[in-house]
Structure formats: structure tokens, C-alpha cells
Amino acid sequence: METARSIQLALLSGCLLFGAASTVAQTSPAPNTTATRPADTPPGQTSAPNASPPTNIKKPTGSTDQDETVKRMNEEEKRKVDSKGK
């Protein structure tokens, strides 16, 4: 008898809480649905102009000026690979 009574009480309180939550959700005002529109004319430049010199387009990305010794060693290794293979 005690467990039946506690189950009834739990169900009743759950129904009351669920009903109260749905009532509150239905009475809250709808969100504002007006969206901001873009400007008719776009704004001017917002960043400061860059005063650095133009980039060098003749060099690939990451390339550097190599020392003559390094260039010579690379050429020697390239000749070895071409003649003997890896």
C-alpha cells in the first residue's frame, strides 16, 4: 500500500511539473524576427594600407639563396643519382 501511494504521488507531481513547464513555454513572447539588412553601399577600406615592398613573384615559396658550397654539393649528388641511381 505504501509503494502504491508513493508511485501515485510521484506520477502526480511529474504531471504537475510537466504541465507548469508547458504553460510557461506557451506564454513566453516570440523572439524578434526582424533581421538587419546589409548596407546599400559597402563601407570603405577599414584596414591601413601596407607600406611594405611588393612581393617577389620569381621565387617559389620557401626558397632561399644557397651558398656556393651547398649548390656545388647538390649538383654533385644530383650527378651521382643520375649516373648510378639511388
Domain boundaries, the chain: 1-27
Kindly tell me if the per-residue pLDDT of 21 is higher than 70: no
pLDDT in the model for residue 52: 78
pLDDT tens profile 48-64? 777 777 766 676 767 77
Residue 1 half-sphere exposure, CB side, CA atoms within 13 Å? 0
DSSP string, the chain: -HHHHHHHHHHHHHHHHHHHHHHHHHHSPPPP-PPPPPPSS-----SPPP-SPPP-SSSPTT--PPPHHHHHHHHHHHHHHHHH--
Q: What's the pTM?
A: 0.28
